[in-house]
């Protein structure tokens, strides 16, 4: 069994959108570069540890509860004043001042690591995890994978994995002693109990004790692992250690389990799935002299029939393989449990004797670089294959085809287990950055054009370019990119391939910006580590130890909780090196002679939709030539020549798009919602005052370090100012807007529920904007349906902004309640306030776009109707009616409340409150944000001027009874604006003036 890492950006209809970005501006415009979600990156390693700058965090005592709401007052703004006033501030309860370090990286307060090297050279990582639900153990062995097996017995490494886990019953003096001790402790050592010197196999025992085990063989290593209840961990470790004894392997082989395990190995082969057919077609297309080309999964033919014909003793080969490659010095054991490290240390003692055998003479070594050239048809730039999908594949969608492009890479990792380096750039890190570049969405992206021409599905993530690595060893990798295609896309398959190459060449026309690479690294840091729901498990740590080593500045299991899977965005040298590696990889990808190109297509696509503008129709049945058969899975495939006019066809389409729509392929740009580095959480002092509740002091600058200099005083080591958050009442932001600031870490408050996060101080914050209106409480069923259509259509209209923010973990949710409209936001505190401003500005203008026809209500949105009794009304509703309902709600809004919580300073909350008040200003007068409706008598054609005696920062004009926008000129005057309207001669026409304010 092998593993493949996939990087993708799944799309969703929820409000947590996938990522897009369009412009390189760093202001509050709704533009930026597209970066994919990294949900698949999390799937690879469970959690992505990262480097975080360690800064001091001081919390003074812990308050119990806070009664009432919160407001702000300014505490002395200079460090000198803060020090001078410390005595008076803290004197009443000075004994309760407690200082402790932080903020620590995620999960640092729930995990403790210890690294040990046993006498046999086995490296051990012990992890005490206070939150882990079950104990887990993993053992990885470098150099015992598929690339180490003998060439004449393909699949031997996989069979060895099965043999190790198939140990038969154990026997011996130690077992008798442990069983007797267990029975005595359980008061079961009675005269009728017969203690046997034989016990059941490891997997049988584990299953009886609510545990499970498994293993997988990769090209470069093998990994064994098991999980179970905490109470069975000591005995489980002892039993697990005996699996890796040469005596036990010899005993297992002697008991005749080889034929049974060969059958199990053969049964694991998947011949029908799309992924399996693609994998074995890749192997067939590789140079047969390359170790990856071998059939490493194994079968009865390779492990039984052929060895018998050649006189090869498989049992002897297995023992030799174990002696030569199952070496303690090349292995890492990881134990994760909730017990103290001293107990874990004691329980792993049996592993001191595991894999301690001597290496046999003439042992076969692990294949290492340089590898032979993997491509056998290099230079043939116009060949592409069509693989016919199996009708037995239950997951096959006849309307969805797959383009697969695979490039061989030769990344040599300079990090070693003995001396790990922080600048190690792995294929997985490069693949993640490439995903952000190639899979981005929005104007100028590959995905945008494929969807525009109808070649890729525009619903969900089916058309999203996905990057994965079927093989990744030191010196050899295969980079695979897959794109879902429609039937029309398959009929124009050659043009699609040309579009891919053109988009990659466009990216490397100009050097990638360093800040762009930093944003991609920040994205990985946020999703893979800071916002990860759990730390890396035992399997992830055991596998990562092979590539990154243990401890040090960039290895696993460091109590410094360093970032090792990707370089830190603060490490300029590593960022520069990452840019160079990514650029070199993009240059390889832009060379049309490098990749292996194939299409996995359904029978419907092949025989009914294969012919297009430039591609020829396929009419030959798959049982005849030129169709061929892949030997492992039996998949039928055809190799064709890429259409000569494919590139010209795509360029002609691109020319029309650029000329008439202003759309053309472009490189990625900076995303204004992604910072180039993640700051530490801002410091907060919490102090309990017996007669006044709790008082909170926020430090404006997170870079200031606090040190406890005495039992009661605090010292600022450099500049900074403190702001006090008092618990006296709602902060009045002016008019009918109020602010409620919730201190971090407090419970018992009405706040925004957030996903499970590490317990350490976080860079995440949340805002709840509650618009106060009496209208929702009086909604009829039809009005409620129309109002929800207004919100749902806004979801589609603001999709670009939602995708822009989702890259950095920003999400939103909207819903009506009896108090009005509730809008919730959460995300990184550095950019979330900007996102909230953008969102709200577009919300108050949404009805304008419904009025003028620039936003339409799709048929799918009608499904949001909440009452079957009014379904006919909802299906017949117009954009105008929905816009009027949204406008009515805004007119009836009397004010709002902003709830702020998390890593957000009081001043930041007050600034956002003032901005929101400006966006949602003067709800009683709809003309302030919806336009001033004027009855104008425009009987004659020509230019008509209307003066408006009210200031607007910007205006738009449209005819209310027409979806056509009017071109207007405007001249600003001191007390208002004179609007010149080009009239078309209609009598008593009604038009509206709309504002477009910018903060």
SS3 readout for 541-602: HHHHHHHHCECCCCCECCCCCCCCCCCCCCCHHHHHHHHHHHHHHHHHHHCCCCCEEEEEEC
How far is the C-alpha of 836 from the C-alpha of 816, rounded, in Å? Answer: 18
Q: Determine contact, residues 422/435, Cβ cutoff 8 Å.
A: no
Q: How far is CA 473 from the centre of its chain?
A: 23
Averaged pLDDT for residues 896-911: 86
Closest residue by Cα to residue 417 from 485, 348, 474, 351: 474
- pLDDT tens digits, one per residue of 441-486: 888 899 999 999 999 998 878 889 999 999 999 999 999 999 999 9
Q: Which of 533-547, 680-694, 791-805 has the lowest mean pLDDT?
A: 680-694
Q: Determine contact, residues 938/983, Cβ cutoff 8 Å.
A: yes
Quote the pTM value: 0.79
pLDDT the model gives residue 377 = 67
Structure tokens at 693: 């509740």
Angle between helices 879-891 and 781-797 (to 10 degrees): 100
| Tokens 């066809």 sit on residue | 649
pLDDT the model gives residue 920 = 86
> CA distances (Å), 92 to each of 88, 457, 690, 691, 727, in order?
8, 67, 9, 10, 18
Pairing of strands 331-337, 123-129: parallel
Beta-carbon contacts of 278 under 8 Å, excluding residues fewer than 6 positions away, are 387, 402, 404, 598, 600
Averaged pLDDT for residues 202-218: 93
Q: Where does the pLDDT of residue 367 fall: very low under 50, low under 70, confident under 90, or very high at 90 and above?
A: low
pLDDT the model gives residue 42 = 35
Q: Determine contact, residues 619/606, Cβ cutoff 8 Å.
A: no
Averaged pLDDT for residues 409-421: 62
Beta-carbon contacts of 586 under 8 Å, excluding residues fewer than 6 positions away, are 434, 437, 504, 507, 508
Beta-carbon contacts of 822 under 8 Å, excluding residues fewer than 6 positions away, are 768, 769, 770, 771, 814, 815, 816
Q: In the structure, how many helices (H) and strands (E) does the chain have?
A: 30, 34
Specify the 3-state DSSP secondary structure of 384: strand
- pLDDT tens digits, one per residue of 304-343: 999 999 999 999 999 999 999 999 999 999 999 999 999 9
Specify the 3-state DSSP secondary structure of 286: strand
Q: Which of 228-242, 530-544, 574-588, 717-731 has the lowest mean pLDDT?
A: 717-731
Strands (E), 394-475: 401-409, 466-473
- Peptide bond between residue 772 and the one before it cis (omega within 30 degrees of 0): no
End-to-end CA distance of the chain: 56
> CA distances (Å), 564 to each of 141, 422, 429, 542, 814, in order?
20, 7, 10, 14, 38
Beta-carbon contacts of 456 under 8 Å, excluding residues fewer than 6 positions away, are 447, 450, 462, 463, 483, 484, 485, 486, 489
Half-sphere exposure of 871 (CA within 13 A, CB side): 5
Structure tokens at 130: 């206070």
Class of residue 573 by CB neighbours under 10 A (exposed 0-12, middle 13-18, buried 19+): exposed
How far is the C-alpha of 257 from the C-alpha of 260, rounded, in Å? Answer: 5
pLDDT at residue 433 is higher than 80: yes
Q: Which residues pair with 869 in a beta bridge?
A: none
pLDDT the model gives residue 560 = 74
How far is the C-alpha of 326 from the C-alpha of 319, rounded, in Å? Answer: 10
Highest mean pLDDT among 576-580, 712-716, 750-754: 576-580
Q: Which residues pair with 219 in a beta bridge?
A: none
pLDDT at residue 74 is higher than 50: no
pLDDT the model gives residue 739 = 86
How far is the C-alpha of 302 from the C-alpha of 299, rounded, in Å? Answer: 5
How far is the C-alpha of 417 from the C-alpha of 564, rounded, in Å? Answer: 13
Q: Which residues pair with 968 in a beta bridge?
A: 981
pLDDT the model gives residue 974 = 34
Residue predicted with more confidence, 632 or 24:
632
Closest residue by Cα to residue 697 from 81, 53, 52, 68: 81
How far is the C-alpha of 777 from the C-alpha of 796, rounded, in Å? Answer: 26
Closest residue by Cα to residue 788 from 867, 705, 897: 867
Alpha helices in 166-311 (DSSP H): 173-185, 202-208, 233-242, 246-254, 258-267, 274-285, 300, 306-310
Query: What percent of the chain stands above pLDDT 90?
Result: 41
pLDDT the model gives residue 758 = 78
Query: What percent of the chain stands above pLDDT 70?
Result: 67
How far is the C-alpha of 783 from the C-alpha of 981, rounded, in Å? Answer: 34
pLDDT the model gives residue 942 = 44
Q: What is the DSSP letter of 13?
A: S
Q: Determine contact, residues 62/35, Cβ cutoff 8 Å.
A: no
Q: Determine contact, residues 363/320, Cβ cutoff 8 Å.
A: yes
Pairing of strands 893-902, 737-742: parallel
> CA distances (Å), 372 to each of 286, 293, 909, in order?
10, 11, 60
H or E element that contains 970: strand 968-972
Angle between helices 314-325 and 258-267 (to 10 degrees): 80
pLDDT the model gives residue 62 = 22
Beta-carbon contacts of 26 under 8 Å, excluding residues fewer than 6 positions away, are 670, 672
Number of neighbouring beta carbons within 10 Å of residue 960: 14
Q: Determine contact, residues 790/814, Cβ cutoff 8 Å.
A: no
pLDDT at residue 573 is higher than 70: yes
Buried b (16+ CB within 10 A) or exposed e, 627-658: beebebbebbbbebebbeebbebbeebbeebe
pLDDT the model gives residue 690 = 55
How far is the C-alpha of 61 from the C-alpha of 252, rounded, in Å? Answer: 60
How far is the C-alpha of 441 from the C-alpha of 463, rounded, in Å? Answer: 11
Mean pLDDT, all residues of the chain: 75
Q: Determine contact, residues 603/393, Cβ cutoff 8 Å.
A: no
Averaged pLDDT for residues 240-244: 94
pLDDT the model gives residue 518 = 96
| Tokens 């890593």 sit on residue | 903
Structure tokens at 109: 């307060």
| Tokens 């070594």 sit on residue | 365
Closest residue by Cα to residue 141 from 296, 290, 351: 351
């Amino acid at each position: 069994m092998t593993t493949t890492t996939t990087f993708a950006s799944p799309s969703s209809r929820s409000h947590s959108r996938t990522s897009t970005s369009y412009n390189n501006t760093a202001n509050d415009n709704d533009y930026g570069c597209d970066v994919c979600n990294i949900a698949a990156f999390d799937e690879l390693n469970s959690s992505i540890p990262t480097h975080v700058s360690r800064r001091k965090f001081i919390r003074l005592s812990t308050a119990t509860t806070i009664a009432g709401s919160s407001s702000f007052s300014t505490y002395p703004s200079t460090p000198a004043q803060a020090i001078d006033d410390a005595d008076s501030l803290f004197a009443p309860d000075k004994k309760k001042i407690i200082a402790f370090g932080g903020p620590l990286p995620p999960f640092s307060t729930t995990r403790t690591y210890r690294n040990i090297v046993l006498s046999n050279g086995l490296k051990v990582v012990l992890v005490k995890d206070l939150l882990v639900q079950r104990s887990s153990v993993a053992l990885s062995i470098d150099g015992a994978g598929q690339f180490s097996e003998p060439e004449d017995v393909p699949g031997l490494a996989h069979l060895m994995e099965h043999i190790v886990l198939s140990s038969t019953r154990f026997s011996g003096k130690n077992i008798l002693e442990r069983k007797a001790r267990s029975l005595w402790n359980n008061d079961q050592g009675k005269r009728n109990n017969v203690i046997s010197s034989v016990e059941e196999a490891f997997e049988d025992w584990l299953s009886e004790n609510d545990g499970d085990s498994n293993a997988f063989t990769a090209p470069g290593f093998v990994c064994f692992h098991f999980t179970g209840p905490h109470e069975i961990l000591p005995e489980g470790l002892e039993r697990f250690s005996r699996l890796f004894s040469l005596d036990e392997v010899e005993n297992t082989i002697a008991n005749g389990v080889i034929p049974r395990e060969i059958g199990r190995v053969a049964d694991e082969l998947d011949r029908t799935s799309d992924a399996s057919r693609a994998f074995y077609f890749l192997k067939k297309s590789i140079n047969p002299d390359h170790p990856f080309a071998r059939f490493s999964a194994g079968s009865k033919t390779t492990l039984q029939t052929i060895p018998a014909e050649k006189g090869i003793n498989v049992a002897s080969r297995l023992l030799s393989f174990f002696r030569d490659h199952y070496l303690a010095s090349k292995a890492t054991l990881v134990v994760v449990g909730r017990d103290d490290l001293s107990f874990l240390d004691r329980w792993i003692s049996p592993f001191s004797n595991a894999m301690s055998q001597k290496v046999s003479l003439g042992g076969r070594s692990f294949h290492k670089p340089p590898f032979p050239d993997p491509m056998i048809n290099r230079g043939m730039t116009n060949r592409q294959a069509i693989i016919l999908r199996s009708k037995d594949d239950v997951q096959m969608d006849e309307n969805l085809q797959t383009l697969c492009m695979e490039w061989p890479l030769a990344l040599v990792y300079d990090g070693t287990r003995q001396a790990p380096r922080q600048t190690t750039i792995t294929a997985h890190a490069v693949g993640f950055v490439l995903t952000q570049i190639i899979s981005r969405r929005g104007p100028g992206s590959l995905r945008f054009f494929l969807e525009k021409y109808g070649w890729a599905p525009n619903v969900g993530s089916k058309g999203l370019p996905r990057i994965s690595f079927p093989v990744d060893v030191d010196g050899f990798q295969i980079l695979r990119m897959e794109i879902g295609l429609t039937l029309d896309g398959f009929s124009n398959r050659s043009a699609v391939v040309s579009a891919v190459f053109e988009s990659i060449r466009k990216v490397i026309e100009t050097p990638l910006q360093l800040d762009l690479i930093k944003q991609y690294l920040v994205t990985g840091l946020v999703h893979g580590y800071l916002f990860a729901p759990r730390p890396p498990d035992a399997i992830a740590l055991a596998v990562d130890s092979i590539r990154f080593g243990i401890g040090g500045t960039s290895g696993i299991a460091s109590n410094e909780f360093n970032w090792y899977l990707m370089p830190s965005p603060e490490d300029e040298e590593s960022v520069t090196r990452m840019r160079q590696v990514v650029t070199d990889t993009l240059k390889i990808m832009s060379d049309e002679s490098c990749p292996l190109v194939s299409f996995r297509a359904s029978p419907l696509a092949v025989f009914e939709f294969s012919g297009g503008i430039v591609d020829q129709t396929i009419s030959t049945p798959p049982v005849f030539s030129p169709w061929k058969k892949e030997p492992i899975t039996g998949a039928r495939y055809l190799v064709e020549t890429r259409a000569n006019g494919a590139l010209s066809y795509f360029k002609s389409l691109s020319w029309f798009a650029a000329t008439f729509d202003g759309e053309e392929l472009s490189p990625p740009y900076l995303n204004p919602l992604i910072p180039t580095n993640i700051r530490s959480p801002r410091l907060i002092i919490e102090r309990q005052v017996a007669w006044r509740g709790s008082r909170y002091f926020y430090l404006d600058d997170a870079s200031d370090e606090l040190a406890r200099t005495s039992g009661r005083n605090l010292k600022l080591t450099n500049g900074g100012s403190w702001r006090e958050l008092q618990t006296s009442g709602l902060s009045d932001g002016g008019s009918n807007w109020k602010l409620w600031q919730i201190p971090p870490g407090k419970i018992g408050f009405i706040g925004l529920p957030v996903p499970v996060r590490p317990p350490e101080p976080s860079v995440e914050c949340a805002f709840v904007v509650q618009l106060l209106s009496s209208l929702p409480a009086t909604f009829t069923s039809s009005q409620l349906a129309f109002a929800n259509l207004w919100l749902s259509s806004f979801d589609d209209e603001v999709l670009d902004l939602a995708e822009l923010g989702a890259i950095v973990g920003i999400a939103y949710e909207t819903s009506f309640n009896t108090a009005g409209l509730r809008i919730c936001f959460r995300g990184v505190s550095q950019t979330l306030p900007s996102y909230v401003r953008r969102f709200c500005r577009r919300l108050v203008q949404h009805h304008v776009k419904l009025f003028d026809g620039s936003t339409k209500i799709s048929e799918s949105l009608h499904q949001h109707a909440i009452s079957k009794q009014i379904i006919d009304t909802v299906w017949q509703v117009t954009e105008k009616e929905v816009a009027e309902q949204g406008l009515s709600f805004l007119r009836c809004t009397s004010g709002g409340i902003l709830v702020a919580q998390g890593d957000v300073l009081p001043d930041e909350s007050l600034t956002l409150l003032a901005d929101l008040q400006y966006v949602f200003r003067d709800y009683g007068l709809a003309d302030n944000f919806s336009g001033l409706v004027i009855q104008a008598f425009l009987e004659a054609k020509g230019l008509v001027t209307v003066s408006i005696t009210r200031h607007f920062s910007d205006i738009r004009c449209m005819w209310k009874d027409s979806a056509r926008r009017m071109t207007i000129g405007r001249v600003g005057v001191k007390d208002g604006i004179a609007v010149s309207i080009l009239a078309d001669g209609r009598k008593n026409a009604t038009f509206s003036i709309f504002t477009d304010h910018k903060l």
